[in-house]
Chain A
Amino acid sequence: MADPLGASGELRARQPKAIHSALTVLEEVARAGAGVTAREVSEGLGLPRATTYRLLNLLVQDEYLVRMPDLRGFALGRKVAELVGSVAPSRPPQAAREVIAELRQRIRGGVHVVRYGDDSISIVDSDPDFPLNDELRVLREFDASAIGLLLLAEQRSLGRASARTAHAGRGIDDDLAAALARGYSSQIGRFVPGFGCIGVPIRDSSGLLVAGLCFSGPRTRIESPERIVAELANSGRSLAPLLA
């Protein structure tokens, strides 16, 4: 088995340079874009060809890079995506924070704001007075929370599928059909019995789903959601230009 730090567990004399070169290769692929060939990377960096090929193959082994279907070109791999995903999103601007604070004063219950990626959710602002029950589950099982259902519904309307559903069979089709028909999503009892949440989409001017506004509270208020949905949609319209 390969031991990245050598048998002694210490960085040996030439290893820092090798790590540096590997990162430079990674940067070069990111800079040149998907499809860059091994020879182009070697020429672009002025690294010896054998060294470059070895580093590229190592990065492919560890899935920081992938080889494109033509076998000549390289692109950034999913490990890079995971690194990007684990960097915390920046704080929303002052204007957005004021809208959220005002909404929290008008609604009794948790108000949370998230931003969406292609197949990812990042929490921008979670309610400090009503903390999220299971943040990791919100981020990983899109079919559990109202926030996740919004993204799944959007993906379905675009004909895509998500990799992050826990119980693909469990009545999710009804949830998604309801969300698509009503323009908001909801669930009851999937995190805490007797409690649930509502998710309202925030879209940019082209209609793309960029963020979501979520209310969490007791069952009775989820079952008669008209006032809450109206409040959330109203604030959502103010937040759209600030978050998109």
Chain B
Amino acid sequence: MAGLARRSVGFYDVLAQSVSAVAPSAAATTVPLMVAAAAGKATVLALFAALLLCLLVATTVNQFTRRLSAPGSLFTFVSKGLGGGAGFVTGVTLLIGYGFIAMFSLAGAGYYLAILVGHFVPGAESSGLLVCILIVAMGGLSFVVLARGIRISTRVTLLVETLSVGIILALVVALLSTQGPGIDWSMLSLGDTTPGDFAIGAVLAITAFVGFESSATLGVEARRPFATIPRAIVWTVIVSGLLYLVASYTQFVGFSGLGRDFVDSGSPVNDLATAYGVEWMGLLLDVSIAASFFACAVSSTTALVRVVFAMGREGLLPSTFGRTHRRFSTPIVAICVTLPILTLVPVLVIAVGNDAWQAMSFFIVGAAGGYIAAYILVCAAVPVFLGRIGEATVWPVVRASVAAVALAIVLTVYLVAELATPQWPGVVIVVAIVLLAVAAHGLLGVRYPDRRRSVGAYDEPTREDVLGG
């Protein structure tokens, strides 16, 4: 994989890639609200179930990240286990996931910046035009950060994320201290939530975690990739999961303390901060959540352009996509093609009369569908891969199988349920793109059978890595 800056990225940069793709602070303040709309009182439990499922997926993905490093990440991993066809489909589902999360984040950044402006100019937060302008501005900023290269993008995002998580934790402490001691155990019961609604809640909760595997895309650039990447993936899941549990619990308790319903709030943290007399904290949070969304957009796009780059290098896309910038060593062509699309789609969705929150609810469907499908495929690939290299042992295979089956069940329940909601076009788009990909792959195989076999470039040891090589 010549062209990328080989072995130049340390542990914290790798961690930053995963953390910013997850965007824990943005997710902690928006996803519980979406989960609550489906799972009601069982929100905290749904988040806990999602944490367990994501831990299973993380340790399963690490069966690959401990053994090979590849810029295509899951897409390359699946082709090592299930072959080029499944690898290609995974690549497409990942592109859907990264793309929709990037659009979700740009819309989210616009939404929270508009709320911020609304603090000073009343009514500004409901202006669709303002949100669109802010989204385009954020898109332009992402372009600069991405094109300048990896060191800038990962360090900035880790800093932003740390700051916003700090502010959220401060708010949590402030709210819990007004509640007094003791834990409201009713938060940890299913209540009257049906298993179907719980599954939907769990899928939405998983979207709060998606992106944790994205540091695997830095396999080529990371120093000691087989040590740093698995560690970054697992810790990202654990720490962001704990943050979600604390944050969602606090939001529920905070609203029940006010005697209001959590689900009716447009921006729960702002409402809570205002209600408990710390509005300035809400202001700070708006800035940091917008920054977190921006970081998430940047890192999802980073991951996305790297998959596009890998596909360009392997002949699945035109070879221009595999070109890198001469000075910054970034996949410049892939950036120039994808980023304008990711910026303009949210603008269009809002321009046709949706508000920003509706647009975000729409994008999250695509993100959930794309990511979870990719996770299912990678979990299914692990037992085959371990068997092929002769390193299959009981627990990794059991974990992979349980994760694959559980994810397949919740995703099916979720997609079927979403068909009956206003977000149904999201389901149709995801399913249609995947079916198109399968068809296109069949066609590609007929015309260029040799390209199909070569799928799955990974970073092979070069001469200086092997003693006496």
Q: Is the CB of B390 within 8 A of A39?
A: yes
A49 to chain B: closest residue by CB: B393
Contacts of A1 in B (CB 8 A): 11, 231
Chain B interface size range? 20 to 34
Interface residues of A in 26-55 (CB under 8 A from B): 34, 37-39, 49-50, 53
Q: Is the CB of B389 within 8 A of A38?
A: yes
Q: Is the CB of A76 within 8 A of B466?
A: yes
Q: Given the interface contacts A57-B66, A76-B467, A77-B465, does A69 sit within 8 Å of B460 by beta carbon?
A: yes
Asked if B461 is an interface residue, CB under 8 A from chain A, the answer is: yes
A79 to chain B: closest residue by CB: B467
Q: Is the CB of B468 within 8 A of A67?
A: no
Asked if B311 is an interface residue, CB under 8 A from chain A, the answer is: no
Interface window among A58-66, A177-185, A196-204: A58-66
B386 to chain A: closest residue by CB: A53
A81 to chain B: closest residue by CB: B467
Q: Is the CB of A77 within 8 A of B466?
A: yes
Query: Which one of A62, A68, A69, A71 contacts B227 once the chains associate, using CB atoms below 8 Å?
Result: A62
Most buried by B among A38, A63, A84: A63
Asked if B464 is an interface residue, CB under 8 A from chain A, the answer is: yes
Bound-state Cα–Cα, A68 to B389, Å: 11
Asked if B192 is an interface residue, CB under 8 A from chain A, the answer is: no
Bound-state Cα–Cα, A2 to B231, Å: 9
Q: Is the CB of A38 within 8 A of B224?
A: no
Size of A's binding interface in residues, CB under 8 A: 30
Q: Is the CB of A39 within 8 A of B391?
A: yes
Bound-state Cα–Cα, A81 to B468, Å: 8
A57 to chain B: closest residue by CB: B66
Query: Which one of A37, A71, A84, A163 contacts B80 once the chains associate, using CB atoms below 8 Å?
Result: A71
Report A's interface with B, CB cutoff 8 A.
Answer: 1-2, 34, 37-39, 49-50, 53, 57, 60-63, 66-69, 71-72, 75-78, 80-81, 84, 118-119, 163
Contacts of A2 in B (CB 8 A): 227, 231
Q: Is the CB of B390 within 8 A of A72?
A: yes
Bound-state Cα–Cα, A118 to B464, Å: 11
Query: Which one of B67, B224, B393, B394 contacts A71 once the chains associate, using CB atoms below 8 Å?
Result: B67
Task: List 19 A-B pairs, Cβ < 8 Å.
Answer: A39-B391, A49-B393, A50-B395, A57-B226, A60-B66, A60-B226, A61-B227, A66-B461, A67-B67, A67-B68, A71-B68, A71-B80, A77-B465, A77-B467, A78-B466, A78-B467, A80-B467, A81-B467, A81-B468
Interface of A is mostly: mixed
Q: Given the interface contacts A66-B461, A75-B466, A77-B467, does A61 sit within 8 Å of B390 by beta carbon?
A: no
B393 to chain A: closest residue by CB: A50
Bound-state Cα–Cα, A66 to B466, Å: 7
Q: Is the CB of B465 within 8 A of A38?
A: no
Chain A to chain B: the 8 pairs with minimum beta-carbon distance, closest first: A61-B227, A76-B467, A61-B226, A69-B460, A66-B461, A81-B467, A39-B390, A50-B393
Contacts of A68 in B (CB 8 A): 461
Contacts of B226 in A (CB 8 A): 57, 60-61, 63
Bound-state Cα–Cα, A234 to B11, Å: 54
Bound-state Cα–Cα, A1 to B395, Å: 23
Contacts of A57 in B (CB 8 A): 66-67, 226
Report B's interface with A, CB cutoff 8 A.
Answer: 11, 66-68, 80, 224, 226-227, 231, 389-391, 393-395, 460-461, 464-469
Contacts of B389 in A (CB 8 A): 37-38, 71-72
Interface of B is mostly: loop
Most buried by B among A38, A50, A71, A118: A71
Q: Is the CB of B464 within 8 A of A163?
A: yes
Name the distance in Å between B395's Cβ and chain A's nearest Cβ.
8
Name the distance in Å between B149's Cβ and chain A's nearest Cβ.
21
Contacts of B391 in A (CB 8 A): 38-39, 49, 53
Bound-state Cα–Cα, A34 to B68, Å: 17
Bound-state Cα–Cα, A78 to B465, Å: 5
Query: Which one of A34, A53, A72, A119 contacts B466 once the chains associate, using CB atoms below 8 Å?
Result: A34
Bound-state Cα–Cα, A78 to B466, Å: 6
Name the distance in Å between A208's Cβ and chain B's nearest Cβ.
15
Bound-state Cα–Cα, A2 to B230, Å: 12
Bound-state Cα–Cα, A67 to B394, Å: 22
Q: Given the interface contacts A71-B68, A72-B390, does A66 sit within 8 Å of B224 by beta carbon?
A: no
Contacts of B68 in A (CB 8 A): 67, 71
Name the distance in Å between B390's Cβ and chain A's nearest Cβ.
5
Bound-state Cα–Cα, A2 to B234, Å: 13
Contacts of B80 in A (CB 8 A): 71
Contacts of B393 in A (CB 8 A): 49-50, 53
Bound-state Cα–Cα, A72 to B464, Å: 20
A82 to chain B: closest residue by CB: B467
B68 to chain A: closest residue by CB: A71
Contacts of B11 in A (CB 8 A): 1
Bound-state Cα–Cα, A1 to B464, Å: 27
Bound-state Cα–Cα, A39 to B392, Å: 10
Contacts of B231 in A (CB 8 A): 1-2
A51 to chain B: closest residue by CB: B393
Name the distance in Å between A91's Cβ and chain B's nearest Cβ.
24
Contacts of B461 in A (CB 8 A): 66-69, 75, 77
Bound-state Cα–Cα, A77 to B226, Å: 13
Q: Is the CB of B464 within 8 A of A78?
A: yes
| 9 further interface pairs, Cβ-Cβ under 8 Å (given A60-B226, A63-B226, A69-B460) | A1-B231, A38-B389, A57-B226, A62-B224, A67-B68, A71-B389, A76-B467, A81-B468, A163-B464
Bound-state Cα–Cα, A196 to B469, Å: 35
Bound-state Cα–Cα, A67 to B465, Å: 10
Contacts of B227 in A (CB 8 A): 2, 61-62
Bound-state Cα–Cα, A39 to B388, Å: 12
Q: Is the CB of B390 within 8 A of A37?
A: yes
Bound-state Cα–Cα, A233 to B377, Å: 66
Bound-state Cα–Cα, A32 to B265, Å: 65
Name the distance in Å between A161's Cβ and chain B's nearest Cβ.
10
Contacts of A39 in B (CB 8 A): 390-391
Contacts of A163 in B (CB 8 A): 464
Bound-state Cα–Cα, A81 to B389, Å: 26
Q: Is the CB of A61 within 8 A of B224?
A: yes
Query: Which one of B390, B394, B395, B465 contacts A66 once the chains associate, using CB atoms below 8 Å?
Result: B465
Most buried by B among A49, A53, A76, A118: A53
